[in-house]
Amino acid sequence: MKTINLQAGTVTTNEFSNFSIHTYTSPESGGLVNSQIIETSNHLILVDTQYLLPFATELKEYLSGIKKPIERIIISHSHPDHWFGNEFFQDQKIFALQEVRTILEQAGDAIIESYQFMNENGSLVPTAKTLPNFTLKEGLFTLDGVEFSVVKFTDVEDSIIAGIEIPKENILIAQDLVYDFTHAFTAELANTQNKWIEILESIQSKNYSLILGGHGTPSAGDILTPAIAYLHDATTAIQKALKEGTDKESKTQIYSQSMLGKYPEFKAPILVQLCSNYMFN
């Protein structure tokens, strides 16, 4: 695993016998969002296209430097920090699970509109949606001799997330199933049907050799144990806020103090505030 610094973001590369995975990570101002670039012998697969347009531009420039065609782009889920960068890839095949396509078709315009306030400081987010134009199917597909498996996870960080397994090397591209030593977007934990912790514990039992998450500079070793512990603590903090808080402000304060106090070393603390805006309306 080697990491290089670009002008804004970083790229961490893991090399294997017949493919490599380059992880572009935006800076903290862009949410430490990860886009995964799978480089096979003749092609590229891009998983997620970034959030803010300046970092999507840098991602595209890095892709161009590899000098291989993009076989497909996969959008893992519907949260805007993983598909706003589609604007720069309108000439590509963009895949998403049918459920994700439906969400973006129905709500994409409203999502775009709700973020337009950010363009008061420059062109940071798109003004129109660029939707996935192909349906991602669960199961196996092969590219240049490398076998991939698309796995669908439900009721986790988002209602639907696509994970990509590379069985031969026992790798999981998990995206927002896992945050890598970074504060997580935990709004869905307030949903009593949420299965996020249960699914992460199931993933842990599979002993993947490498798991790549959706936020945070990739790190070697066990990232699941701290991620699971974080979600347990977040669940407790949400329950405490709902029980003791009297309004949105007090609930937000209780949740924020709990998580920032317990995880002062975790990056992207702004995500704690963002969660509160959704959980405590």
CA 37, CA 45: separation in Å to the nearest integer?
6
CA 259, CA 114: separation in Å to the nearest integer?
27
pLDDT digits (tens, 9 = 90+) for 223-251: 999 999 999 999 999 999 999 999 999 99
Q: Tell me if 246 is assigned to some domain.
A: no
Q: What is the pLDDT of residue 262?
A: 97
Q: Tell me if 272 is assigned to some domain.
A: no
Q: Is 175 left (phi over 0), alpha (psi -120 to 50) or beta?
A: left
Q: Tell me if 244 is assigned to some domain.
A: no
Q: Tell me if 202 is assigned to some domain.
A: yes
Q: pTM of this prediction?
A: 0.97
Q: What is the pLDDT of residue 234?
A: 96
User: In total, how many domains does the chain have?
Assistant: 1
Using DSSP, state whether 6 is helix, strand or coil.
Answer: coil
Q: Tell me if 47 is assigned to some domain.
A: yes
CA 148, CA 166: separation in Å to the nearest integer?
5
Q: Tell me if 118 is assigned to some domain.
A: yes
> Can you give the CATH number for the domain in which 27 is found?
3.60.15.10
Contacts of 153 (CB under 8 A, 6+ apart): 160, 161, 162, 163, 177, 199
What phi and psi values does residue 67 have, to the nearest 5 degrees? 60, 45
Low-confidence ranges of the chain (pLDDT < 50): none
Q: Tell me if 182 is assigned to some domain.
A: yes
Q: What is the pLDDT of residue 273?
A: 86
Domain hosting residue 148, numbered range: 2-222
Q: Tell me if 254 is assigned to some domain.
A: no
